């Protein structure tokens, strides 16, 4: 039976919806409705907030907003061409609508991630390493940071390997923490990094504090996407947690100034 959702119709806004009844088959979903609140909250909401936030820590908060939107352009293109973001998916619940991609992931989740990146950097006085691109010692030096960026981004693909089993989305946070402590931190503590990228030990401490704060925020937000059910869907839970963190960081920034 073809769904008849209009733009402001969103099953699951007030109560958790029946995903099988509301979201399948994918071909019947309305690409312009808000049903993504019901159908697309499984596992990836927190990633769509914290991934832009990570990009903001590496490139600057403006890059977080840009990356969120351009990635969704890519997702929409794949959606149109292949009818699914995950090429090998066999589940209608793995698929996104255009509204979910643009409004849910790019605009709302991406904006929250960008704000968090800005606040974290300002609070610990951290300058993202890619903003020192021209000051890096050589192309090999720059290539190292690109490789580390790819490594950290790869951590966000791990939930997909577990078929988005809710508790396992927390693997992302653990993977980012391990990658930073065991790979990123040791490889960016050389003399050239301290002098040219971090500008002294004060910058190194700011880097460590920024990523530690990022991990704490990530734990708070990813926990809302890991099986807790106290609101009608994980979008609202993640947004509530993100706004709470933004408010808290905002108060800390205000007191700091």
Query: Is the dihedral angle over the CA atoms 17, 23, 28, 30 positive or is it negative?
Result: positive
What local confidence, expressed as pLDDT, does residue 8 receive? 65
**Angle made by CA atoms 149, 215, 209, in degrees to the nearest 5:** 85
- Asked if the structure places residue 31 within a domain, the reply is no
Residue 225 lies in a domain: yes
11 vs 2, higher pLDDT: 11
Tokens of 202: 């004060």
Does any domain span residue 17? no
pLDDT tens-digit map of 217-231: 999 999 999 988 999
Instruction: Output the average pLDDT for the chain.
Output: 88
Radius of gyration over every alpha carbon of the chain, rounded to an integer in angstroms: 19
The answer to the question of residue 4 being in a domain is no
Residue 182 belongs to some domain of the structure: yes
What whole-number distance in Å separates Cα of residue 215 and Cα of residue 188?
18
Alpha helix segments (H runs only) across the chain: 19-23, 36-39, 45-59, 61-82, 98-99, 110-124, 139-154, 158-161, 171-179, 185-187, 191-192, 201-222, 234-256
Is there a domain that residue 28 lies in? no
**What's the whole-number mean pLDDT along residues 162-171?**
73
Which of 24-28, 53-57, 203-207 is least confident?
24-28
The whole model's pTM is what? Answer: 0.92
Instruction: Tell me which of 175 and 77 has the higher pLDDT.
Output: 175
- With pLDDT > 90 as the criterion, what percentage of the chain qualifies? 58
Q: Which domain holds residue 104?
A: 40-256
Assign 7 to helix, strand or coil: coil
What number is the average pLDDT over the span 2-22?
Answer: 74
pLDDT score for 210: 98
User: Does the pLDDT of residue 164 top 70, yes or no?
Assistant: no
Per residue in 90-136, pLDDT (tens digit) is 567 677 888 888 899 999 999 999 999 999 999 999 999 999 999 99
What b/e readout covers 3-17, taking b as 16+ CB neighbours within 10 angstroms? bebeeeebbbbeeeb
Does 7 reside within a domain?
no
Residue 1 has pLDDT above 50, yes or no: no
Query: How far from 106 is each of 12, 101, 177, 206, CA to CA, in Å?
Result: 21, 6, 25, 28
Q: For 183-200, how does the pLDDT look when each residue is reduced to its tens digit (9 = 90+)?
A: 999 999 999 999 999 999
Residue 103 within any structural domain of the chain: yes
Q: What is the pLDDT of residues 42-95, one digit of tens each?
A: 778 999 999 999 999 999 999 999 999 888 887 777 767 776 555 445 567 677
110 and 64 Cβ atoms separated by less than 8 Å: yes
Domain count, the chain: 1
């Amino acid at each position: 039976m073809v769904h008849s959702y209009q733009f402001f119709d969103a099953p699951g806004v007030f109560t958790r919806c029946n995903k099988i009844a509301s979201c399948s088959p994918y071909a019947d979903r309305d690409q312009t409705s808000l049903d993504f609140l019901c159908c697309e909250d499984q596992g990836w909401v927190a990633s769509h907030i914290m991934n832009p936030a990570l990009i903001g820590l590496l490139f600057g908060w403006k890059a977080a907003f840009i990356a969120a939107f351009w990635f969704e352009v890519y997702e929409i293109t794949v959606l149109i061409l292949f009818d699914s973001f995950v090429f090998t998916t066999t589940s209608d619940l793995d698929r996104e609508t255009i509204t979910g991609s643009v409004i849910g992931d790019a605009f709302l989740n991406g904006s929250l991630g960008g704000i968090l990146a800005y606040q974290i950097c300002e609070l610990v006085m951290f300058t993202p390493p890619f903003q020192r691109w021209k000051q890096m010692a050589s192309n090999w030096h720059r290539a190292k940071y690109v490789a580390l960026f790819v490594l950290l981004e790869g951590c966000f693909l791990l939930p997909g390997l577990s078929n988005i089993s809710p508790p396992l989305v927390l693997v992302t946070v653990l993977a980012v923490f391990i990658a930073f402590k065991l790979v990123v931190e040791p490889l960016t503590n050389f003399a050239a990094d301290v002098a040219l990228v971090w500008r002294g030990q004060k910058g190194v401490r700011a880097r460590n504090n920024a990523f530690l704060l990022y991990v704490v925020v990530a734990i708070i937000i990813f926990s809302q996407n890991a099986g807790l059910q106290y609101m009608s869907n994980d979008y609202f839970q993640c947004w509530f947690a993100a706004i709470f963190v933004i408010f808290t960081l905002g108060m800390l920034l205000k007191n700091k100034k």
